[in-house]
């Protein structure tokens, strides 16, 4: 008879945002602004006893936001996190709770085992959410999954979502000036080549990149392309390409960063980037 092993950990984390204020005598004091606080939830479940050399398991690690600078931010972060953690792996609809996800996942595995006598390779799904803040203005969620549901190999991906303190999702076309893509394409390709160690004279497709295995137009084959999976940090804007997105699985994911010095001429005036960028 199969038994369920469950490990649940809750850790409380606070992000304190502070600002400096100058007094009448020229001294500087620090004032505490609204705090982003959350409980860090870790769930680790397995079917016992394990089958063969591996276990069928579900692991979640994510922040459960308790307070935020604005209610809109709290609601937005909560929705994004729950939509990711509870996403159904095949039907496209989210589960009602982590418990429901785990129950259905294990039932699916058991049903598959019953249809394939002797099958003893464990399935697993691991979902991890990272949350960071820049100057209490930009909040970035990193949504990562690593899973195996049979097949040739496990799969993994990492998605980034950036929001402002009012919970609005940030897109680059609203942060950078018109024409930023063609104007930044050359320095971006240079940064990509440097990060992936591709010589400037080697065509990108010869190096295995931007081969678009999903069947995009031939004219784009081997041509550098921006994607929408980016993160904002103290260093600049980083773009992340998942496995299969621009290269074969064996190549793995790839990324590059455009630093703030390169981006500075293209930052849209009065945008949130103008507030957080320090060059």
Q: What domains lie within the chain, and their CATH numbers?
A: 3-170 (3.30.565.40), 173-276 (3.90.640.20)
Residue by residue, what is the 3-state secondary structure of 69-133? CCHHHHHHHHHHHHHHHCECCCCCCECCCHHHHHHHHHHHHHHHHHHCCCCCCCCEEEEEEEEEE
What's the confidence (pLDDT) of residue 188?
98
Q: Are 29 and 20 in contact (CB under 8 A)?
A: yes
Q: Are 254 and 241 in contact (CB under 8 A)?
A: yes
What's the confidence (pLDDT) of residue 5?
52
What's the confidence (pLDDT) of residue 6?
52
* Alpha helix ranges (H) inside the chain: 71-85, 98-115, 172-175, 180-196, 260-263, 272-276
Q: Which of 42, 96, 23, 36 is nearest to 69 (CA)?
A: 36
Cis peptide upstream of residue 49 (ω within 30 degrees of 0)? yes
CA distance 13 to 37: 6
Mean pLDDT by 10 residues, the chain (279 residues): 53 44 35 71 85 81 94 96 91 87 93 89 94 91 95 91 96 96 97 96 94 64 92 94 92 95 94 83
Length of the chain: 279
Q: Say how far residue 57 (Cα) sits from the centre of its chain.
A: 22
Rounded to two decimals, the pTM is 0.85
Task: Classify 1 as helix, strand or coil.
Answer: coil
Q: Are 171 and 228 in contact (CB under 8 A)?
A: yes
Q: Are 152 and 146 in contact (CB under 8 A)?
A: no
Four-CA torsion 63, 68, 72, 76, nearest 10 degrees: -10
| Token couple for 159 | 């998605």
Q: How wide is the angle at C-alpha 143 spanned by C-alphas 44 and 11, nearest 5°?
A: 45
CA distance 172 to 179: 11
What's the confidence (pLDDT) of residue 1?
41
What's the confidence (pLDDT) of residue 119?
86
Q: Which of 106, 114, 7 is nearest to 47 (CA)?
A: 106
């Amino acid at each position: 008879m199969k038994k369920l092993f469950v490990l649940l950990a809750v850790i409380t984390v606070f992000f304190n945002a502070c600002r400096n204020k100058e007094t009448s005598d020229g001294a500087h004091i620090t004032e505490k602004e609204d705090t982003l606080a959350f409980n860090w939830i870790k769930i680790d479940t397995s079917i016992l006893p394990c089958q063969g050399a591996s276990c069928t398991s579900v692991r979640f690690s994510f922040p459960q936001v308790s307070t935020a600078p604005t209610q809109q931010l709290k609601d937005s972060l909560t929705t994004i996190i729950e939509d990711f953690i509870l996403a159904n792996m095949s039907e496209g609809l989210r589960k009602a709770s982590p418990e429901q996800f785990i129950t259905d996942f294990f039932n699916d595995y058991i049903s598959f085992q019953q249809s394939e006598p002797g099958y003893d390779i464990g399935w697993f799904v691991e979902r991890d959410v990272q949350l960071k803040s820049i100057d209490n203005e930009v909040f970035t969620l990193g949504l990562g999954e690593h899973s195996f549901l049979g097949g040739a190999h496990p799969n993994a991906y990492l998605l980034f979502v950036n929001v402002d303190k009012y919970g609005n999702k940030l897109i680059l076309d609203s942060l950078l000036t018109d024409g930023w893509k063609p104007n930044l394409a050359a320095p971006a390709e240079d940064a990509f080549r440097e990060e992936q160690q591709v010589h400037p004279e080697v065509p990108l497709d010869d190096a295995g990149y931007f081969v678009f295995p999903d069947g995009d137009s031939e004219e784009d084959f081997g041509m550098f392309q921006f994607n929408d999976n980016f993160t904002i940090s103290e260093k600049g804007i980083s773009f992340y390409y998942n496995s299969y997105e621009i290269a074969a699985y064996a190549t793995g994911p790839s990324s590059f960063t455009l630093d703030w010095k390169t981006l500075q001429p293209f930052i849209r005036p009065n945008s949130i980037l103008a507030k957080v960028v320090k060059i």
